Structure 1
Amino acid sequence: MYLSTRGQVDRLTAAQAIAQGIAPDGGLFVPEAIPFVDEPFIVRLQSLSYQERAAAILQLFLTDYTEDELKSCVAGAYGGGKFSSPAVAPVVKVSDRTFALELWHGPTSAFKDMALQLLPRLLSCALKKIGEQAQIVILVATSGDTGKAALEGFMDVEQTQVMVFYPEEGVSQIQRLQMVTQEGENLKVFAVKGNFDDAQTGVKRIFSDNAFNAELANGGFKLSSANSINWGRLVPQIVYYFSAYADLVRNQQITQGDKVNFVVPTGNFGNILAGYYAKQMGLPINKLICASNSNNVLTDFLTTGVYSRNRQFYKTYSPSMDILISSNLERLLYQVTNQDSKQVNQWMEELNTTGEYRIGDEYLAAIKEVFPAGWVDDVQTATTIGRVHKEFGYALDPHTAVAWQVAETYRQQTGDTTMNIIVSTASPFKFNQTVLNALVGAERVNDKSEFAVLKQLSQIIDRPVPPALTELEHKAVRHTTICGKQDMPMVVKAALKSK
C-alpha cells in the first residue's frame, strides 16, 4: 500500500497511486514498507533477461498487479526492438575499477526511456483496475529528456492527454527538436519563458489548485504526472541497479556480495533515489555518489544539511541537471526521518515560504553515510569529456562527464577503491555540440548546423548516430506555443477545450 510523504492521504493501492501521480496534499506517494530481498533472489537475477528481472522486482512493489499484467507491461516497454542493445541497460567496462551503466539505448537516447516506456503501460492497466472513466491529463515539466521520453511513451495511448512544458532557453537543440516535432493526436508541447524550476513549480501549482481540478473534473478530465514524482516513473528505475549488479557478477567482474558504488548525475533526485531504494532492499551498494553541475544545491544540502534554492541559477552544458528544487528529495527525507510526515511537511512548507530548510545533525549524519556528493563546472565537464575519450576511447555526454569527474575526485579524496559504476544517462549525440567542441575544440567544428555536427561527432567517436536523431532533420515542427509560467493553467484549459 502507498502513503503520502505529507501524511494527509488514506492508504492507496499501487494502481491508485500511479493513476493519481501526486498526492492531493502535495506530497509524493511512497510504499508503506520497502520490500527486502535475500541473496538467493539477487543470485537468481543473473540468469534472467532484463525483462524478467524487471518483472521480478516490480512484483515486489506493485502487488495489486497480476504477474501476467506485469509481464505484458514489461514486454511492451523493453521488447520489440525498441532498445538498440539486447541487454537494454548494458554495463560497459571503461577503465580499471570503473564501469558505465548505459541507460540511453532506448528510442529517445536518454535514460528517461527506462521508465517512460513502462509508465504508460502501468497507467493504462491501473485505469482499468480502478474503473477510471475520465480522460487522464498528464502534465510534464521537463529539463529536456523527460519531455521527449513521455511524448514517445504516451503517443496515442488511449484515455490520455499529455502536455509537456519545457524551459524555452534551457534545453539542447536536439532536445528541443525531439519535442517540437513530436507526432501524436493526444500530445501538446509548450515552451515556458523561464527555467525548469519555473515549469516544475507551475505544474505543481496546477496539481494543488482545487478549483482548477474541480473544473477539469466537470469536463471529464483528471490530472496525473509522468515526472518522477509519479511512483510509476520511479519504480522502474530500481530495476537497472539490480540488473547492473547481476551483470557484473555474471561476467565475473565482482563476486556476489561485493559492494559497489554507483555515481549518479543528479538533478531532480529521482535516479539516485531509485538506487537508495535498491540499497534498502538489500542490494550490496556501498555509496551512492551524488554528482551535480554548477547548480549545486544538492551538493550543499548533502554536505551541510541546509537546502536553499535562494541562489543563482546557471545554464550549463548539462541542462537536465539545471534544477534548484529537487522534488524527489522529499521521499528520502521521509525515509531518514522514519516516515515522520509531520516533519517532512514542515520542511516543505519552509521551502515554499522562505526558499530553504535545515535538517538536524542526526538526519544529516545518516544521509552523509550513504550519499557523498560533489560538483563540477562546465570547464571541468568539457575537460573530462576530452580526457576520457583520449585515454579510454569512450565518449561521455556532459551529464555522464559530471559523474565521471565527481567519481575521480571522490576516489582521490577518500582512497575508496570500491568498484565505481557511472550511471550514464544520455547518448553523447544528444549533446553533440558540447561533446564535439570538447573533443576537437570549437574552432575545428566544420559546420555549425546541428546535423552536420552529428555526422562529424559520429566519425570522431566511431559510433553511428541513432536513427531517431538523424530523422529529426526532415521532420516538421508541430508545436510552437510559448507561454509565461503564470499562463500555464490557461494553456492547459485551452488545449483541452480544443479536444
Structure 2
Amino acid sequence: MEVLYRSTRTPEGTVTASQAILKGLADDGGLFVPQQIPHLDVTMEQLAGMSYQETAYEVMKLFLTDFTEEELKNCIAKAYDEKFDTKEIAPLKKEDGAYYLELFHGATIAFKDMALSILPHLLTTSAKKNHVENEIVILTATSGDTGKAALAGFADVPGTRIIVFYPKNGVSPIQEKQMVTQKGKNTYVVAIRGNFDDAQTGVKKMFGDKELAKEMQESGFQFSSANSINIGRLVPQVVYYVYAYAKLRAAGELAENEPINVVVPTGNFGNILAAYYAKNMGVPIAKLICASNDNKVLYDFFQTGEYNRNREFILTTSPSMDILISSNLERLIYKIAGEDAVKNAEMMKSLTTEGKYEITPKMRERLQDFTGGFATEKEVSDEIARVYQDTGYVMDTHTAVASCVYHKYQEQSGDQTKTVIASTASPYKFTRSVMDALHKDSKNMTDFELVDELSRISGVKVPAAIEEIRTAPVLHDTVVETAEMKNAVKKILGVK
C-alpha cells in the first residue's frame, strides 16, 4: 500500500515520502502527515525476535513507501551502527516499578540521536530520488538536544550544510559545549538573544519567506528541516516504541496483547506523537501520559481543551522541554479535527495572531488516549534523589519529569498497567542539575569535575560524547538578535 503525505493546512494535494522529507515544512506552513497510518504487517511474536535494525525496517517500510528495500536498509545500516554504545540501540532498564526505555546511547547522548542518525541518509537518498541539483541547507532551531544531534548527523555529509540556532543561556553548559565545538566544514552554530520559541519562530518564518527562497534558489541552495516537524524525524521515532513492546514480550514481561502505558517527557510533542502513531499501527498501548515541566502549556491543554502560550516562559533544569509552542501538536489537532485542514489552519492562525486556540467538545472526546501531568522543579530534583537512593539508578532531569508524573498519575488513578518511561537523555548531559539533586557540593566544582564525580557514584562510565568535548576548542561563537537570524543565514551562505 502506497502512503502519500498531505499538509495539515490544505485539503488538496499530496506528496511522496521522499518529497515530504526534502521539503520539511509544507508550502502553506503546515506539517506533512500520512494520509493513513499503516498497520504493522508482522506479528509481535515475529518482532520479538528481531534486532533494532530489523524492527526499524519493518516499521519504516510502511511509511516510506517510495524507498526501495535496498535504499531503506542502506539508510538503517548507516544510522544504527557503532555510533551507539550498546548493541540493543535502545535498551530497557527495569527500575522502581517501571521500564525505562533508554534512548540516549547514541553519539550525542540524547534521544534525538535515534532519528537524527538516519535523517541525513533519508534526506540525501530523497534528493537523489527527486533529482535535486541544489545544495540542501538544513535550518533548525534547538532547545538543546536536536542541535548537536543534527550537527553530528550532517557533519561533512556531501551536498548538505547545516545551520543551528539555539537560545544563549537557554541550554545546559554541556549542551552548549557540545554544539560550539562541533567539527565539520558544513556546520554552523548561531546563538540568539532570546528563548527557544523565538528561535523556532525565526526558523519557521524563513521557511515561509518566498523572497528568501527565490534568492536561495538563484544561489543554488534549498532549505530543509531537521526539527521534529520533518516527517523524516517522526517516522524513525515510532520504531523504538514498537521495539520496546516487542522486547518486553520477548523477555516474558508481558502476556500476549497485554497493554502498556507510555510516559513521555515532551515539549515539542514529537516524541509522544510517535508513541501515538505506534499505537495506531497496532501496538497495545493504553494511556499516553504527556509529562511537562513548569512550562505546562500541554498539561493545561489536556486539562481544559485550550492551548494558550500567553504566559511566562520559565527556564528550568529540563531545558529541552522549555517550550510554549509545541509544533508537533498540530499533527494531533489535525487528526482529532477529523482531518479537516481548513479547521486546523484556522486554529493555527489563531495561535499565531492571538497566542491561543480552543478545541471543540467533540475533538476533546478524541483525546481519550492521552492524559497530562507536570512536575515542578523541586519535584524533579526530589525524584532524581529518591530513585537513586532507592535503586542506585541515576536519571537526568527530563526523565525525572516523566518518572515523577508517572508516579503521580499512578497514585491518582490507581492504574497498575505496566509502564514504559521514555528516558530521553543521559544524566551526563545535565550533570550540574543532577548532582545538585543528589546533594553533592557542586558550587566549587567545574562541569567536568562533576562528570567524574557522577561516574564514581553511579558506576557508569563517562560517555565518549562527554570525553571528546573536555578539551575541544570552541569553533562557533556567533551571537545575534532574533531579528538578525535571516541575515546571519544569508551571510553564512554568501547569498547577496
**Shorter chain as normaliser: what TM range?**
over 0.9
Q: Corresponding residue for 2:23?
A: 20
Task: Tell me by how many angstroms 1:197 deviates.
Answer: 0.1
Aligned partners of 1:337 and 1:283: how far apart in 2?
A: 23
1:68 is aligned, of 61, 70, 74, to 70
2:49 maps to 1:50: no
Q: What is the identity, as a one-letter code, of the residue corresponding to 2:401?
A: V
Alignment of 1:283-362 (within 5 A): 283-362=283-362
Alignment of 1:358-437 (within 5 A): 358-367=358-367, 369-437=368-436
Helix, strand or coil: the match of 2:146?
helix
Task: Tell me by how many angstroms 1:377 deviates.
Answer: 1.1
Q: Corresponding residue for 1:3?
A: 6
CA contact (8 A) 2:56 2:239 kept: yes
Aligned partners of 1:41 and 1:186: how far apart in 2?
A: 43
Q: What is the identity, as a one-letter code, of the residue corresponding to 1:462?
A: G
Aligned partners of 1:355 and 1:28: how far apart in 2?
A: 19
Q: Alpha-carbon deviations, 1:316-363, whole Å to 9, x = none? A: 010000000000000001111221101100000000000000001111
Helix, strand or coil: the match of 1:73?
helix
Aligned partners of 1:116 and 1:43: how far apart in 2?
A: 28
Q: What is the identity, as a one-letter code, of the residue corresponding to 2:217?
A: A
Task: Tell me by how many angstroms 1:446 deviates.
Answer: 7.3
Q: What is the identity, as a one-letter code, of the residue corresponding to 2:257?
A: G
CA contact (8 A) 2:180 2:189 kept: yes
Helix, strand or coil: the match of 2:468?
helix
2:496 maps to 1:494: no
Q: Corresponding residue for 1:41?
A: 43
Helix, strand or coil: the match of 1:222?
strand
Q: Do the aligned partners of residues 142 and 235 (structure 1) sit closer, same or farther apart at CA in structure 2, a change above 3 Å counting? A: same
Q: Corresponding residue for 2:458?
A: 461
Helix, strand or coil: the match of 1:474?
coil
CA contact (8 A) 2:8 2:330 kept: yes
Alignment of 1:108-257 (within 5 A): 108-257=108-257
Q: What is the identity, as a one-letter code, of the residue corresponding to 2:29?
A: G
Q: Do the aligned partners of residues 107 and 222 (structure 1) sit closer, same or farther apart at CA in structure 2, a change above 3 Å counting? A: same
Aligned length: 493
Q: Corresponding residue for 1:90?
A: 91
Helix, strand or coil: the match of 1:71?
helix
CA contact (8 A) 1:8 1:25 kept: no
Aligned partners of 2:370 and 2:364: how far apart in 1?
A: 10
CA contact (8 A) 2:215 2:495 kept: no
CA contact (8 A) 2:219 2:495 kept: no
Q: Do the aligned partners of residues 207 and 446 (structure 1) sit closer, same or farther apart at CA in structure 2, a change above 3 Å counting? A: closer
Aligned partners of 1:129 and 1:283: how far apart in 2?
A: 31
Task: Tell me by how many angstroms 1:440 deviates.
Answer: 2.5
Task: Tell me by how many angstroms 1:195 deviates.
Answer: 0.3
Aligned partners of 1:421 and 1:116: how far apart in 2?
A: 22
Task: Tell me by how many angstroms 1:192 deviates.
Answer: 0.6
Helix, strand or coil: the match of 1:177?
helix
1:29 is aligned, of 28, 32, 56, to 32
Q: Alpha-carbon deviations, 1:399-421, whole Å to 9, x = none? A: 00000000000000000000011
Aligned partners of 1:174 and 1:351: how far apart in 2?
A: 33
Aligned partners of 2:234 and 2:220: how far apart in 1?
A: 27
TM-score, length basis structure 2: 0.98
Q: Alpha-carbon deviations, 1:26-85, whole Å to 9, x = none? A: 0000101110126x5222111110000001110000000011111110010001x11111
Q: What is the identity, as a one-letter code, of the residue corresponding to 1:413?
A: Q
Task: Tell me by how many angstroms 1:23 deviates.
Answer: 0.3
Aligned partners of 1:256 and 1:220: how far apart in 2?
A: 54
Q: What is the identity, as a one-letter code, of the residue corresponding to 1:18?
A: I
CA contact (8 A) 1:9 1:24 kept: no
Report which stretch shifted further, 462-471 or 183-192: 462-471
Q: Do the aligned partners of residues 214 and 446 (structure 1) sit closer, same or farther apart at CA in structure 2, a change above 3 Å counting? A: closer
Aligned partners of 1:150 and 1:3: how far apart in 2?
A: 25
Helix, strand or coil: the match of 2:184?
coil
Task: Tell me by how many angstroms 1:8 deviates.
Answer: 5.7
Aligned partners of 1:432 and 1:242: how far apart in 2?
A: 30
Q: Corresponding residue for 2:473?
A: 476
Q: Corresponding residue for 2:80?
A: 78
Q: Do the aligned partners of residues 372 and 320 (structure 1) sit closer, same or farther apart at CA in structure 2, a change above 3 Å counting? A: same
Aligned partners of 1:187 and 1:446: how far apart in 2?
A: 34
Q: Corresponding residue for 1:439?
A: 438
